[in-house]
Structure 1
Amino acid sequence: MVSGDGTRSGGVEADKRPGRPGGRRETARRERTKELEDAALRLFVERGLDAVTIDDITQAAGVAKGTFYRYFDDKAVLVDALLEPVRGELLSGLEACGRALAQARGVEAMFEAYRAMAAVIASALLQYPSVVRLYLQESRGPAVGARRKVAELSREVSRHAVDITRRAHTHGLLRPIRPAVSGLAVVGAVERLLLAVLSEEDIGNPLELPDALTTLVLDGLRVPSAGKEGRRKLDGGGKRP
């Protein structure tokens, strides 16, 4: 794993002595890394990033504090490692949706592109529920300290959402609302629903959410099936009554 400055996210010692692939040293390194990540994730979700110290993490993992620095340079690098699989899933899904919308010429093609993206989000939720919850809990906080990595991912998700909305607008598939408004509104709705699922709020079967959310959002944003006169009114043209 590589951090923003081009160095690997693991600690220096772990890089120098990774061990033979499949060997005892590598196995021990992977197990110890997972112990630290699992302990940290549990504490982060329970208390929030700011309230958890490296001492807390090592105590929960049952290791010495020095062991932490063999695998992670600091708390921010650990958070980055936790986010990595979810980041990959989300961004690949958003990029695929953008490519599909660039080719979409009709409402059904647009719906399929958004459904595919919703399925990717649902997959990430099912595979990494605690990581997704950590992201949702921390993404609105100040982009400082260990939260920088969460904020960076949040900005990337928002940027892709706006770009996707802009592409749908290109083919006249959505109402003429600014992409920065409708795209971010959709992100907010999706994230709130995901947090409701993870908080075990009573919102029905989570597996039905992707289709329900896609239909709800796109029925509100897409251009209605109307004649030319109705479309002119929607676009702000035509005579006032």
Structure 2
Amino acid sequence: MKTAAKSRTARRRPEERPDEILSAALDVFTEKGFAAARVEDIARRAGLSKGAVYLYFDSKDAMLKALVEQSAGQIANAASALSLMGAAHDPEKACRAILKMALTALSDPDISAAPRLVMAEAGRFPELAEFYRRRVIDVGRMAIGHLVRTGTQNGQFREVSEDAAMRALMGPALAHMMLSTVFRLPDDPEFNPADMADAIADIVLNGLKPRGDAHA
């Protein structure tokens, strides 16, 4: 049985090995924390030698960066694409779509694990913080800034600080991620991330104050 298992592993490993290593790295980072994790631990979890791991990733920093690319990086890329496609047609609709996409993705603990790790370790590892800022936050900032500028130019939005708008739209995604994972309690109500995104978008885009003369 062991021989057969090794044979199957050998046949499937060459193309799947990077993903196996990253999966093992995420498990080890989550259990031990990034600082305490060792490449040896990751190799053991992946069923590889330490040398084999180094064929694909030269450090655990590279592994975490790759995990960020697979999760928050892809979300940032999708936000950028939605911004470019939606700005000319309907900036508000594009903002809502970005929020819906982000909240839905970040509701998945497997997707949010790497961003949460970076946030937890950023103070001790400024290079990782800089990478996340450049690869994720700045991409999201440019996407939202493009929508705000376009919406202002066509009269759909009033003039506001682009930086404030970025914080107002990205902040709920981070809060949602933390409340759906780290701070989630067993008796928390279930909700649809898409519905929550619509509710948040309505508050961000329209404000909390009542509208209409009846509430003046």
Verify same fold: TM over 0.5.
yes
CA distance in 1, matches of 2:30, 2:154: 42
Residue matched to 1:133:
113
CA distance in 2, matches of 1:171, 1:48: 48
CA distance in 2, matches of 1:53, 1:81: 16
Which one of 215, 224, 232 corresponds to residue 202 of structure 2? Answer: 215
Runs of 4+ in 1 over 4 A off after TM superposition: 145-148
Residue matched to 1:162:
145
Which of the two has higher C-alpha Rg?
A: 1
Which one of 44, 52, 56 corresponds to residue 67 of structure 1? Answer: 52
Which one of 71, 80, 84 corresponds to residue 94 of structure 1? Answer: 80
Which one of 199, 205, 218 corresponds to residue 191 of structure 2? Answer: 205
Q: 1:114 Cα deviation (Å)?
A: 2.2
Residue matched to 1:7:
none
Using a 3 Å threshold, how does the CA distance of structure 1 residues 146 and 27 change in structure 2: closer, same or farther? farther
Q: 1:40 Cα deviation (Å)?
A: 0.8
Deviation string 1:64-120 (CA, Å, 9 cap, x unpaired) is 21111111122232223223333234322333234413333xxxx62x222322332
Contact 1:79 1:149 in 2 (8 A): no
Q: Which amino acid aligns with 2:150?
A: R
Q: CA RMSD in A?
A: 3.2
Residue matched to 1:10:
none
Gaps of 5+ in 1: 1-23, 227-241
CA distance in 1, matches of 2:174, 2:156: 24
TM-score normalized by the length of structure 1: 0.66
Task: Check if 1:116 corresponds to 2:88.
Answer: no
Q: 1:187 Cα deviation (Å)?
A: 1.0
TM-score normalized by the length of structure 2: 0.73
Q: How does 1:17-36 map to 2 (within 5 A)?
A: 27-36=12-21
**Secondary structure at 2:88's aligned position in 1?**
helix
Contact 1:76 1:149 in 2 (8 A): no
Task: Check if 1:144 corresponds to 2:126.
Answer: yes
Higher helix proportion (structure 1 or 2): 2
Q: Flag the structure with more relative contact order, 1 or 2, with Cα contacts below 8 A and sequence separation at least 6.
A: 2
What is the number of residues matched between the two proteins? 197
Q: Which amino acid aligns with 2:94?
A: A
Using a 3 Å threshold, how does the CA distance of structure 1 residues 183 and 49 change in structure 2: closer, same or farther? same
Q: Which amino acid aligns with 1:93?
A: A
CA distance in 1, matches of 2:196, 2:115: 19
Using a 3 Å threshold, how does the CA distance of structure 1 residues 225 and 97 change in structure 2: closer, same or farther? farther
Residue matched to 1:192:
175
Residue matched to 1:50:
35
Gaps of 5+ in 2: 1-8
CA distance in 2, matches of 1:185, 1:139: 19
Q: 1:135 Cα deviation (Å)?
A: 0.9
CA distance in 2, matches of 1:54, 1:169: 50
Q: How does 1:221-240 map to 2 (within 5 A)?
A: none
Contact 1:186 1:217 in 2 (8 A): yes
CA distance in 2, matches of 1:26, 1:175: 59
**Secondary structure at 2:207's aligned position in 1?**
helix
Q: 1:204 Cα deviation (Å)?
A: 3.7
Give the share of equivalent positions with the same residue, in percent. 22
